[in-house]
Amino acid sequence: MVKLVLAGQVAIGNGDVGIVRAVAAHQTGIVIGFWLFLCLGLAIAIPAAIQDGFFGPVPAAALGPSQGTLVAAPGMSVEDMQRLSSFKVKGSPDSVFADGGVFDITLGDTGFTLPGIRYYYITTSSKDRAHIDMMSIGTSSRKSSRAELEAANAALRARLSAAGWLAGHEVYRTEQDRTLHGGASRGPAGDVWMKGEVVLHILEKRMDDRKPDEARDAGEWIQFVDLGRRGRWPGFERYVFEPAQSQ
């Protein structure tokens, strides 16, 4: 079994556990910068998508045909993204590239395509405006129930595994980490994935307000994914990547 241990992997969006410990233990500019990127991206992209009705009650089949394909991945040149994409890329390397619609996205030379994307938010690094640094893309065509979201997450994990992506799990190497996780030595796999130089994190966001005494599976949800470059993924040797285990 192939195993890869990477320096600098912390789960994006795992605010209730991972990032609290990571920031406390490793207060580095790259971690802070990544979280600023994530928060800013969601603050801009998701409200704009909601306002434009992207996640309304319209059935996915009624959204219309794809408006083209965005070809992009962390580490890819901005020039290649603009040249290879049939979906018009809006924005500037000096700020951000961001837009919405109905389109597909091919993740650079990984060959992996995600259909029915609703928005993208792409940044470059202040030290390298010629290449994509980080991405956040909306993979849900509409708001869904908790059960539908979990089915969508499982389907995406199966596709990633079949396409040769490696599944990451967090390793609790210190006694403090193991204590925080009930004595476990490793975390679950299936949310963070890697292929080549691209790291992908499956994330979710609740779109309605919580209600008192609601059922555990309540709410309206969307799925989105964040992507970064392997060499710039924040954290400190916390993840191991290996082929996904058969379910």
Report pLDDT digits (tens) over 84-121.
999 999 998 888 899 888 999 999 999 999 999 999 99
Among 210, 176, 215, 207, smallest CA distance to 49 is for 207
At residue 119, the 3 state secondary structure works out as strand
Name 179's Cβ contacts closer than 8 Å, sequence gap at least 6. Answer: none
Give CA–CA dist 15/117, Å, rounded.
25
Structure tokens at 66: 């794809």
Residue 140 CA: distances (Å) to CA of 49, 81, 107, 157, 238:
11, 22, 17, 15, 29
pLDDT of residue 234: 75
pLDDT for 65 equals 79
Matching residue, tokens 């938010």: 121
Q: How far is CA 139 from the centre of its chain?
A: 9
pLDDT digit string, tens, across residues 169-184: 889 888 988 898 899 9
In sequence order, the 6+-apart residues with CB closer than 8 A to the CB of 135 are: 72, 73, 74, 120, 121, 122, 123, 226, 227, 228
**222 forms bridges with which residues in the sheet?**
205
Comparing 146 with 23, the larger pLDDT belongs to 146
Place 18 in a pLDDT band, splitting at 50, 70 and 90.
Answer: very low
Residue 31 has pLDDT above 60, yes or no: no
